Amino acid sequence: MKAIDIGPTSQEKTVWWILDLGETHSIYCISVEFKDYKDKEMRQRGRFAGFSLYISNTPYKDDGRLCYKNTLPLPPLAFNITCFGYGRYVIYYNERLDGVTYPKGYSSLHTFTELCEVKVQGCSKAGLYGSNCSIPCPKNCQEKWCNIVDGTCVGCAPGYLGLMCEEECPWGWHGVGCKSKCKGHCKGNATCNHVTGYCDGGCAAGWIGKQCVQKCKDGTYGSGCIHNCSGHCLNGTFCNMENGFCEFGCNAGYSGNICNKEEGIYPQVKESDTTSTGALAVKISIAAVLTIIVVLRKEPQLIPEGNKTTFCTPKRTNR
């Protein structure tokens, strides 16, 4: 395959070539055979110099991963490179841009790209490694992707670290690369789930949500925010979202930490009311004394006894 020329005097400045493997594979080695004119080997090597190889899951190199970039020495016309990757597309790219000074030996004018063969080696199924592609990658490798030779993970699934992704995130951290910090409101000061960041054991009092980052609504408090404030906090202030306490005090007539204890309310008595009340009490006392005196001075009652009427007089007792 021969592409149009690139260079300062050419219409095109870049050239690319894409190999579609049909589906995603675990790649180990890429071989490229460039056109060899026998007596023009150095010219040909200068034309290919500076090329790059990418592995991608889309036809665009910028979406993929650079696995090789040639500088010096000039590449051989039969080129092999160990290139670990995981993707569907292998992309060859080269350029000759205006205003750029290229190393000695690079062809800059009318640079043609002539590829005879591109060979890709690896495992046909993702998630396997080894000489026979028969060993499963470690279970916590990101997307089950590991080095096709030694099985080390290219990246870890969220919540794990290490070459084989066997280590859980340290206490208080979670997510991809363990770079996300737990929010700190899990029940019992527990750490969050190292994968999701959720508080699996529930939230501390005053907080709700999977990650316990939402405060109780005003007027509610406690575990799960299921309790209502007493409604008697001073001047209509809201209670503490964790324990329900009225931190600024209670309205008149209420006491206690949450202001739910009613107290007796007695009206104030004016001095004039006190004077008149006292006079009334004196009058009532005098009337009571007079009543007693009147009762004591009443005549003895007559008690009928047969057809004879006698006076009922107190019996005397001889001492």
What CA–CA distances, in Å, run from 184 to 50, 120, 171, 173, 193? 51, 49, 11, 10, 12
235: CB partners within 8 A, 6+ apart? 248, 251
Answer with the one of 179, 196, 215 that is the final residue of a domain: 215
Query: Tokens representing 14?
Result: 């870049």
Answer with the one of 71, 105, 124 that is the final residue of a domain: 124
- Provide the domain count of the chain: 4
Query: How far is residue 305 CA from its own chain's centroid?
Result: 104
Query: Are 136 and 203 members of one domain?
Result: no
Query: Tokens representing 77?
Result: 């016309």
Answer with the one of 65, 100, 124 that is the final residue of a domain: 124
Task: State the pLDDT at residue 11.
Answer: 85
Q: Would you say the pTM of this structure is higher than 0.85?
A: no
- Is there a domain that residue 189 lies in? yes
Rounded to 10 degrees, what is the CA torsion of 191, 195, 201, 203?
70
Query: Are 34 and 99 members of one domain?
Result: yes
- Is there a domain that residue 308 lies in? no
- Cβ distance 22 to 90 under 8 Å? no
Query: Are 150 and 179 members of one domain?
Result: no
Task: State the pLDDT at residue 108.
Answer: 83
Task: State the pLDDT at residue 306.
Answer: 47
* Burial group, residue 275, by CB count within 10 angstroms (0-12, 13-18, 19+): exposed
Task: State the pLDDT at residue 247.
Answer: 93
- Is there a domain that residue 154 lies in? yes
- C-alpha–C-alpha distance, residues 195 and 193, integer Å: 5
**Beta strands per DSSP E along the chain:** 14-34, 52-56, 65-69, 78-95, 115-123, 128-129, 135-136, 160-161, 167-168, 173-174, 180-181, 207-208, 214-215, 220-221, 227-228, 254-255, 261-262, 302-305, 308-311
Find the domain containing 142 and state its range.
125-158
Domain with residue 84: its CATH number is: 2.60.120.260
- Is there a domain that residue 319 lies in? no
- Is there a domain that residue 42 lies in? yes
- Is there a domain that residue 283 lies in? no
Of 20, 18, 21, which is closest to residue 125 (Cα–Cα)? 21
The DSSP call for residue 222 is: S
Query: Are 96 and 140 members of one domain?
Result: no
Task: State the pLDDT at residue 319.
Answer: 42
Query: Are 211 and 248 members of one domain?
Result: no
Query: Are 63 and 95 members of one domain?
Result: yes
Task: State the pLDDT at residue 264.
Answer: 66
- Is there a domain that residue 51 lies in? yes
Q: Residue 103: is the preceding peptide bond cis (ω within 30°)?
A: no
> Splitting the chain (319 residues) into consecutive groups of 10 residues, what average pLDDT does each group show?
74 91 90 91 93 95 94 93 89 92 88 90 87 92 88 94 96 95 91 96 94 94 95 94 95 94 63 47 44 43 45 45
Query: Are 35 and 58 members of one domain?
Result: yes
Query: Are 104 and 151 members of one domain?
Result: no
Query: Tokens representing 185?
Result: 């409101």
- Is there a domain that residue 302 lies in? no
Query: Are 103 and 180 members of one domain?
Result: no
Query: Tokens representing 207?
Result: 């907080």
Task: State the pLDDT at residue 1.
Answer: 62
Task: State the pLDDT at residue 112.
Answer: 86
Query: Are 204 and 223 members of one domain?
Result: no
